[in-house]
Structure 1
């Protein structure tokens, strides 16, 4: 639950600008709340509903914040807003990338979600991803954010292009995306290992907003909580994996990490064919993927 903390009063133009931003933020939240129907978020409309869109208490509940606190936010009260709360509100209100950026700007906060451009994803890296052709490859960081990928990777486990950037995270997909989960042959073993790697990587990022946001989302899954509470840690290593792709069938691949920036965990993840049958199927997947323009590369 968000803490109801008021900001200290300020004077001059800075105070006036902050007040204007608070009122703009309040109006923006009200507008977007009224655009979301109860049915869109799985709530019954009910015969006595008069409010267009969602009620304040419904937004607060879906975002896991206090009703009073959210009411204050829509009343332009001088309260501080954490990036975790802003992220939750952006997802509840189904904001697109431009709207999300506007929300964070009005709140005077930096969005810690992975940006569309990553320092490790240079034009040369993007060209390398494309030239790998039928070999699925992506750039990931230590949080498992997928910040760039080629066409074959975009169709390997799910339709990556159909996901908003904030959901292109292998941990979130492994626990919440049905297509991704169905494609991983050894799902429970994979999720346990990924969780152990995430815990090991977390040690270098304690308290960082982006990590706190990711963990908050993941802990909505009972399966993740169970694996997280094992307190297992693991490093990265090459591994043979099996995926059941809906387009071409069973794939046996060798997972390899090529490190771009070890200090941030940025790496190119590649899946090379483990046998001739998989090689042929990956080439067929690549041909299918070429027919659809990719957004990740």
Structure 2
């Protein structure tokens, strides 16, 4: 049980919940609320738990709550399925995942990378290490194969390449930093002894203020689709959809960068793919 993380998560989710979300008035006794979100006693009433015990949970002073208490608090806070699973792990009700040898990418996923048309795709694990990619992803971002294995990491690439990996169009909600923070926090809950991932998160937080701000939000809800802006030099700027699919039974994720057919970005991706697959010119005179 990670008492400090558990307390921080409960407090963040309580403060993010509006009274109207649970059928309570926005005003308290005719006066505006002085603090954001719900009061502790309101959560306790909704969950049917002791106010003193819940306060000690948020202050990291309480003993481990039972699964029944965790379930009641999860319902009171309107947690999503992913957030409830995260809460259970923080409370010590799910065994942590051991961090050992890198996972192997299933053959079917490797085949998918080369079959999906003008879509840049790569596979990464819980540590954000890139384990496989297709030619279009290498052409769009960087030549991953030329990098040392330790540098084939989404967060390290974001620190090195900056906007090529991180930026989002101004109108886009959320962004890469929010996604990375949610995925990293969820992974560290399942892998609390993964010192390599913990160091990487700390380094990224120091280098990227947006990630540090998102990390403090204690959010563990990854977004299925993001908008990403890539500056590809001679091709110009491409606004792409970044979609993430989980590989069942593993910590692997398939990230796909694509554009809607008929758009300029889709045309540019298609040209880039054709350039990668075009046969080399003959060396004969």
TM range (shorter): 0.5 to 0.7
Matched position secondary structure for 1:131? coil
User: Shift of the alpha carbon at 1:275?
Assistant: 4.3
The answer to whether the aligner puts 1:282 opposite 2:266 as a matched pair is no
> Do the aligned partners of 2:159 and 2:207 also contact (CA within 8 Å) in 1?
yes
Q: Could you tell me which of 162, 168, 190 is aligned with 1:204?
A: 190
Structure 1, gaps ≥5 residues long:
1-111
- C-alpha deviations, 1:82-136, integer Å up to 9, x for none? xxxxxxxxxxxxxxxxxxxxxxxxxxxxxx7975xx42x1333222211224211
Following superposition of structure 1 onto structure 2, how do residues 182-261 of structure 1 map, counting pairs within 5 Å?
185=169, 189-221=175-207, 223=209, 224-261=211-248
Equivalent position to 1:160, from 121, 144, 147: 144
Question: CA–CA distance in 2 between the matches of 1:213 and 1:227?
Answer: 17
TM (norm. structure 1) is 0.50
Of 110, 129, 138, 1:145 maps to 129
Aligned length: 178
Q: Point out 4+ residue stretches in structure 1 off by more than 6 angstroms.
A: none
Q: Unpaired runs of 5+ in structure 2? A: 1-98, 281-285
The two structures have a TM-score, normalised by structure 2, of 0.52
In structure 1, distance between residues paired with 2:101 and 2:207: 22
Return the match for 1:172 from 146, 156, 175.
Answer: 156
Task: Map 1:19-168 to 2 at 5 A.
Answer: 115=102, 118-119=103-104, 121-168=105-152
How far 1:232 moved relative to its partner?
Answer: 3.6
Residue 132 of structure 1 aligns to a residue in which SS?
coil
Greater mean alpha carbon deviation, residues 231-240 or residues 186-195: 186-195
Q: Distance in 1 between matches of 2:151 and 2:101?
A: 10
Contact 1:242 1:251 in 2 (8 A): yes
| 2-structure distance, mates of 1:292, 1:145 | 31
Cα distance in 1 for partners of 2:126, 2:183 equals: 9
* Distance (Å, rounded) in 2 between the aligned partners of 1:251 and 1:113: 37
